[in-house]
Amino acid sequence: MSFSVLNPATEEVVAEIAEADACAVDAAVEAGAKVFAAGTWSRASVEQRQDMLRKIARLIEAHADELADLESLNTGLLLREARRRHVARAARNFDFFADYIGQSVGELYQQHPGFLTMVLREPVGVAALIAPWNAPLALGSMKIAAAIAFGNSCVIKPSEQAPLAIMRMVEIIAEAGLAPGVLSLVNGRGAVTGEALVRHRLVDLVSFTGGTATGRRIASAAGEGLKAVTMELGGKSANIIFESADFDRALDAALLGVFDNNGQQCLAGSRILVQRSIADRFIEAFAARTKAIRIGDPRDPATELGPVASAAQRERVLEHYARAIDEGAIGLAGGGRPAGLPRGFYVEPVAVEAPSNDLAACQEEIFGPFATIIRFDTAEEAYAIANGTRFGLVSYVWSRDAAQIAEAQERLESGVVWINTPVARELRAPFGGFKESGVGAEGGRACEAFYTRQKTVMTPRRPVALERLGTA
């Protein structure tokens, strides 16, 4: 069986891909388990692993244009962003873990009078890595780099919608000389290839990024096999703009926060909460700017918003718009298909004002260019709205009042809080969601904890007293 992948900007089929069935998945996992047991990579020195990770990073940089091209072709992401951000991030992920493993420290307990006790960390085995389609290279490379840096083998399954750039990256990694079997790729649908991978008896770890419903299914399957999981799931994040904010910067960042990456980001600030005293001015400016966003070919450097990834995503945006209006929202911008772009999954970016946080558009992750704006009076009300969701991935706060900032960062229920900034990433720090946005996190120490297992070794300081059985 094979499946087609499309260019969302033209709706043309750009590749036919063979689906990996249970047999092919088995071969990939077996190869990973075999090379793991042989120790070729799992017991390679830290220096050898660092050299390889850095070599991979350099090769990714050397192929940056080609990778960016594929990523944009297959996802509709702006070509310049794929080049500047996504490919750069992929290379940086390998460099980051190369540096990290050179500096990580262990534990030693010396309080016990009789023993020195040390805690060793070792690789776990074979990791199943399951990636989404919205930022395949950036997210897939994080998983691969982390898994192999700590000595594991891994099998990556890209999204069946957008596998092309990851497929090329995996080839590049092989060209770098990583031992065969340490990294394999399997293509296919979640229910077929993904399930077979997660349920494989030789898979020890499952790292998943994708939707919450899928995450729940995968975590259950992994749970049956007692496999550890990290789950990076969906979001419905609040961007709170207090009246004390720098208005212009908050406006710029609110637009970026929801429409960047063609609006398809787990960490989108898709609920924009604005304090009532500045709301009229903000809403007017936000609507005008949303209407002025340049929609078009993702390869054109002037384009600001490319197509969404699929026809289904476009329908989702349009249906949510109609439903929001039905539920009492005020349409401010968008809600239709842009003129002059008959081909491609283009949709006008949407802005609506929601009378309440209960609207479906405020509670469900739409995962497209869709902003809902909600007015609030007091900080308490803002926290209640921000936290009034089953998700808890990230939050954004715009304020110039130090006490308000200090309070907000305590009160918001999310794994990351960004103050007076759009998205920023510190790879050393954990990135992970609260509530239904995830389990576990990615980041330096978080990945070390996940991709290694601890082994406690006790050594007596002096010969221990032994009872002598059988000598009475």
Catalytic pick from 160, 232, 353, 442?
232
Contacts (Cβ under 8 Å, ≥6 apart) of 400: 244, 245, 246, 420
CA distance 147 to 15: 28
For the bound state, the minimum distance from the C-beta of residue 339 to ligand NAD, rounded and expressed in Å, comes to 28
154 close to 95: Cβ distance less than 8 angstroms: no
Contacts (Cβ under 8 Å, ≥6 apart) of 206: 127, 128, 130, 198, 218, 219, 222, 227, 228, 229, 230
| Minimum CB distance to ligand NAD smaller for 305 or for 405 | 305
Q: Is 227 helix (H, G, I), strand (E, B) or coil?
A: coil
Positions that interact with ligand NAD (CB under 6 A): 130-134, 139, 157, 159-160, 189-191, 194-195, 198, 209-211, 214, 217-218, 232-235, 266, 365, 367, 393, 433, 438
With the CA atoms of 384, 385, 391 and 393 taken in that order, what torsion angle do they form, in degrees rounded to the nearest 10? Answer: -90
Of 162, 413, 179, give the one whose Cα is nearest residue 306: 162
Q: Dump the DSSP string for 231-251.
A: EE-----EEEE-TTS-HHHHH
| Minimum CB distance to ligand NAD smaller for 32 or for 194 | 194
Hey, how many other C-beta atoms are within 10 angstroms of the C-beta on 54? 17
| Minimum CB distance to ligand NAD smaller for 261 or for 452 | 261
Catalytic pick from 71, 154, 160, 266?
266
For the bound state, the minimum distance from the C-beta of residue 365 to ligand NAD, rounded and expressed in Å, comes to 5
For the bound state, the minimum distance from the C-beta of residue 191 to ligand NAD, rounded and expressed in Å, comes to 5
Does the active-site annotation cover 447?
Answer: no
For the bound state, the minimum distance from the C-beta of residue 321 to ligand NAD, rounded and expressed in Å, comes to 19
For the bound state, the minimum distance from the C-beta of residue 315 to ligand NAD, rounded and expressed in Å, comes to 14
| Minimum CB distance to ligand NAD smaller for 98 or for 131 | 131
E strands, 53-204, in order: 107-109, 115-123, 126-130, 153-157, 183-185
The residue nearest ligand NAD at its CB is 190
Q: Is 404 helix (H, G, I), strand (E, B) or coil?
A: helix
Of 167, 172, 171, give the one whose Cα is nearest residue 186: 167
Residue with tokens 């970026």: 256
| Minimum CB distance to ligand NAD smaller for 195 or for 300 | 195
E strands, 33-131, in order: 107-109, 115-123, 126-130
Identity of residue 358: D
For the bound state, the minimum distance from the C-beta of residue 128 to ligand NAD, rounded and expressed in Å, comes to 8
CA distance 226 to 219: 10
Both structure tokens of 211? 């939707």
Does the active-site annotation cover 224?
Answer: no
| Minimum CB distance to ligand NAD smaller for 24 or for 44 | 24
For the bound state, the minimum distance from the C-beta of residue 194 to ligand NAD, rounded and expressed in Å, comes to 2
CA distance 135 to 232: 13
| Minimum CB distance to ligand NAD smaller for 387 or for 414 | 414
Write out the catalytic residue numbers. Answer: 232, 266
